[in-house]
Chain A
Amino acid sequence: MNAGRDPIVRFDNVGLRYGTDREVLSDLNFALLPDSFYFLTGPSGAGKTSLLRLLYLAQKPSRGIISMFGENAGLLPRKALPPLRRRIGVVFQDFRLIDHLSVFDNVALPLRIGRIAEEELRESVSDMLDWVGLGHRAEAHPAVLSGGEQQRVAIARAVIARPEVLVADEPTGNVDPAMGRKLIRLFEALNRLGTTVVVATHDRTLQKEVSVAHMMKLDRGRLTIAEPAA
């Protein structure tokens, strides 16, 4: 489907270490193709979260080159990074919702950062909240939500701006299987609309839900990618 197209993300000889410890990620060489779906798997401590942090530009690699949307992210000046980040949606493992903002305002945050007019964003946010089953909780604050509800708010916030790349760290870890499948359907829908999706998960059932997904396996800091089974 996307063979021959330029990769949207490219890692060349990327390594990452924290402080003077040994590398947690070594010699990563891969490319994420546009409109593709990837599952990132691996045992705990394999470096999945570190790899995702590199993908959503929260972390600089210790070595190597990361190209995002055709630009070498390591060479870009600081002020050039926010526009790149706005093209990436992130579902954090710990949700990272802003406590003093309502559910509606948390979901609207990426649109407001992108200076979308209030009247334009209102309907989009309401539709998104309805879709994740939280339309009735728009004015609630994160502290009163269950873990599963918080996770759905985090996902809604990550996808509301229709990012070109969606990075999700265990996005279904706190929801029931039915909601997990529903959220994966949402990711698939986004993927069909052109978003490259990277989902880190241990859930093998979910992995089987998406037949077109590439499987990225991370083990002891090294990565292998398998083509989709379908």
Chain B
Amino acid sequence: MNGRLKLRIRRASNKRLGGPMPWVVAIMVALMVMIASAGMALSNLARTSEADLSGSLTVQIMEAAEYLRDREAAAAMSVLEERDDIAQLRRVSDRELRDMLEPWLGDLGEGGANVPIPALIDARLAVPLSEARLAQIRQSVIEAAPSARVEAQSTWLAPVLRAVSALQYYALGLVALLGVTTAAAVWLAARSAMAANRDTIEVVHLLGGTDDQVVRLFQKPVVRDAALGGAVGFILGGGLTLLMARQFAALDSGLVASGRLGVADWAVIASIPLAAVALAALTARISVMSVLRGIR
């Protein structure tokens, strides 16, 4: 259809489509960006932690007497050293242990004479740690060091990872709900514009205007409003996400750092406003076509 007509009719339909719609889309997109960012950060954190811990085990020597503890630790070390499936092995020094415990137990002093501290051996396997392999390692270590406790590191984090996984689904559900709400808002705005302009649509239709010509008249302002709202929402949601990322980075925690968003994550986040625009265009088209089908 001729540009000037499009401009004139669109200007009239814009009066009905404008108003709150860009702001509704902006708020929805900002919320979706923030929730998706949080979900992906949690996903990264869980994936990194799981990868780090899946091939690791910890041996604790619980013997209270220091000389016996050292002897059992040495025996356990030698058992583990002989195994082909152990890639890295390290006994955590007493100083490191004291430093780790100091925030909770205070200064333990040299040797930790008043509070017996277990000896700790950190082992990394060359192969995945199955339940059967863990049981076999446990048995051989306990034979050499009776007070030893052998645990896979992933066992301790499993409940946390399960909770993180649940949070990811929660975030995904929220993003989906917000998407549906955005579509509903666009649908209502398009329907209201259609109702207000029904006579115009009928006249254009009866004078030989095609369905596509009518759809384009209403789709373009909807797409423009959604693009405006999407851009504002992305800037708002993305900005807040960056601010939060900076706050967490300041914690200087290895665990938190593993949740950092990568380029691929930001690409997914950037696709949210684009998806909102596509959703708005599709919703507007469907709503306009549903009205047009009611006219011969």
Binding site for B on A (CB under 8 A): 56-60, 78-79, 81-88, 90, 96, 98, 100-101, 105, 108-118, 157
Contact = CB atoms under 8 A, between A and B. Distances in A.
Given A59-B296, A98-B200, A98-B203, A114 B4 contact: no
B206 A115 contact: no
Interface in B197-221: 199-200, 202-211, 213
20 contacts: A56-B206, A58-B295, A58-B296, A82-B205, A82-B210, A85-B205, A87-B208, A100-B11, A100-B200, A105-B4, A108-B5, A109-B207, A113-B1, A113-B5, A113-B204, A113-B208, A113-B209, A113-B213, A115-B1, A157-B207
Interface of B: 1-5, 8-9, 11-12, 199-200, 202-211, 213, 295-296
**Top 10 A-B residue pairs of the complex, sorted by shortest distance between their CB atoms:** A86-B208, A112-B2, A85-B208, A100-B12, A112-B5, A82-B210, A82-B208, A113-B209, A110-B207, A96-B203
A118 B296 contact: no
A85 B8 contact: no
Contacts of B9: 98, 100-101
Q: Which of B202, B203, B296 is packed against the most chain A CB atoms within 10 Å?
A: B203
Nearest to B204: A113
A76 B85 CA distance: 75
A90 B4 contact: no
B210 A79 contact: yes
B211 A79 contact: yes
Contacts of B11: 100
A118 B2 contact: yes
Contacts of A108: 5
B56 to A, nearest CB: 65
A86 B204 CA distance: 10
B132 to A, nearest CB: 67
B267 to A, nearest CB: 38
B213 A90 contact: no
B210 to A, nearest CB: 5
Contact of A112 (B1, B12, B202): B1
Contact of A105 (B1, B8, B211): B8
B2 A116 contact: yes
